[in-house]
Structure 1
Amino acid sequence: MKHKKGRIAIGIMYVIILFSAVYVTLMYLTHDPVNAPVVKNKLDQPGFSLTAWKVAFYPHIVLGTVALAIGPVQFLNRRRGKRQGHRILGRIYAAAIGINILVVPYMAIFATGGKGSTVAFLVLDAAWLWTTAMGVWRIWQRNVAAHRKWMVRSYAVTWGFVSFRLIVAVISLLTHAPTSVAFPVGVYVSLVLNLLVAEWLLRGRKAKPVSGSRPLREAVQAID
């Protein structure tokens, strides 16, 4: 029953990821990104190069989507017959984030919302690096329990690809705040909220089995 609920939860996550991927594809890959509102606002910024930005941006969204897609299946891919697949996907996940971490600082310099957004995205990038590096380091130490915890935290930061856009949309809709406020606030709220949910899920696994709980809790329980 636990695994069945976990699969349902992960199915829901993949639906959300699919919608996010379709949006990104239509907005930035199918059409020239120069037509996207967030890009138009950058064209007049001093030192901005559309070519250099594309070199950083395309790997960012493609590899970010890869990391998003790999995370949920890892929750179900740890049984003995699937350990090799788990390791391979884990390495791809870590590599996708490792490359992303390198391109984010350039993009942050020209982030929508100005300096506040620049700092916020750098903080997010540092959290991504820290949680993922800790997860990799722990498995090198053969500390599987700690590895699982840190990779859950890493994926919580990765999930910011999705939650950040939703939170910014809500902030803009409810408060009509300018991008200089909505974007950095959206980054911080997304990061803190995702990590709090991750810690709640991890503590919930220790406390007691879950019955009829929320989808993400079931997804994390499916790790075991």
Structure 2
Amino acid sequence: MSNTRRLSGRNIAALAADGFEKVELVVPLRALQLAGANVDIVSLRRGRIRGVNLHMPASRVGVDKLVTEADPDAYDGLLLPGGFINPDLLRQSAAARDFVRAFDHSGKPIVTLCHGPWVLASAGLLKGRTLTSWPGIRDDLVNAGATWLDREVVRDRNLVTSRGPQDMRAFLPAMLDIFAEPTSQQQTVPDHDGSDPSLDKPLGWAMAALRWSPKPSATALTSVVAAALTPPLRRHLSIRA
């Protein structure tokens, strides 16, 4: 099978609600489709859910299935985008928490970034796990029992996490790698002496970006995907000591 279509026949669920960070859903979605995967947008309501670009409203995406109707057994993996609002809504839904738990209990891959791990915390899945996230929710994840690392990508068994859009070039190859593997091929991170410390101040680029009204075009989003999937960027992304 061509490496560019190595996810042909794989079915992926993208669990998202209103307030998803647009780049964190649209760019991975396009990368999965280019790799041959079938992707369903699973959500809390029917219709079209609204994305955001940081704090600004963005375009909508259509929902394929309600989370109360979607069968986790029908999917090979789960994508959880971030954004401030999206994971906050999902973590309050018992059906969404159950949906996420089903993937983890089956050992199926879960990939998430930014604030997405909030949902994993509320689903009770982080005790003893090692991951990364948007730095602002580091304490939430540590308090949920996780070890938090300030890395662009962290792989812990069936879980791949990333800090946010700034790490998309590393996140996309790691996502495709884990979705392409048999479930039995699980990798772990080496032991670490506790979590990395909290940041001393918010990320400068994020603070500056909040002064803008970003509206990335479809061309810009496609360029991010293309850049992230170029061969020089492909590498083994499991964290090493």
TM-score by length of 2: 0.27
More RCO (CA 8 Å, sep 6+): 1
Which one has the bigger strand percentage?
Answer: 2
Which one has the bigger helix percentage?
Answer: 1
TM-score by length of 1: 0.28
Larger Rg: 1
